[in-house]
Amino acid sequence: MTPQDRQLVQESFAKVAPIAEQAAALFYQNLFDSDPTLKDLFRGDMVAQGRKLMQMIGAAVKGLDRLDGLVPVVQDLGRRHVKYGVLPQHYDTVGAALIDTLAAGLGPAFTPEVRKAWLTVYGVLATTMKDAANAGELAAAVGC
């Protein structure tokens, strides 16, 4: 992840923040259209869930400037998602739904460079989450 990737992600997310509620609704629509079985992982008010999602993305985007503080938070998030039933393959579906949502929300401002930056940043964060989830499962399996 380059400084330019961070900057592009931060600047583009600032344009999405004012339409956060609509972006969250579109994200979940994209997600469930891609994999309807994922609806079973969500058991509550989807508007509230959308707010949490956008707050989490916003915090992660801001935290890109301080990776030493962001990484432990993202690792914890990965470990918690295992308890919710999230599987490694779900991360690809989530990433695709996120990219589709950003493309719709940003329109022409979702340039190829912005898309690449989001793919890079999401890839780093998703890998961090999956690695922490796998490490947590391994530790539980061996009784640590």
* Buried b or exposed e, range 92-123, using 16+ CB within 10 angstroms: ebbbebbbbbbeebbeeebeeebbebbebbbe
For the chain, the average pLDDT equals 92
Given 3-state DSSP classes, what are the helix, strand and coil percentages for the chain, each rounded to the nearest 5? Answer: 85, 0, 15
> How far is residue 133's CA from residue 78's CA, in Å, rounded to a whole number?
5
- pLDDT, one tens digit per residue, over 2-52 is 999 999 999 999 999 999 999 999 999 999 999 999 999 998 899 999 999
| Residue-range domains of the chain with CATH | 3-141 (1.10.490.10)
Closest of 100, 99, 91 to residue 126, by C-alpha: 91
pTM of the model: 0.88
> How far is residue 13's CA from residue 65's CA, in Å, rounded to a whole number?
14
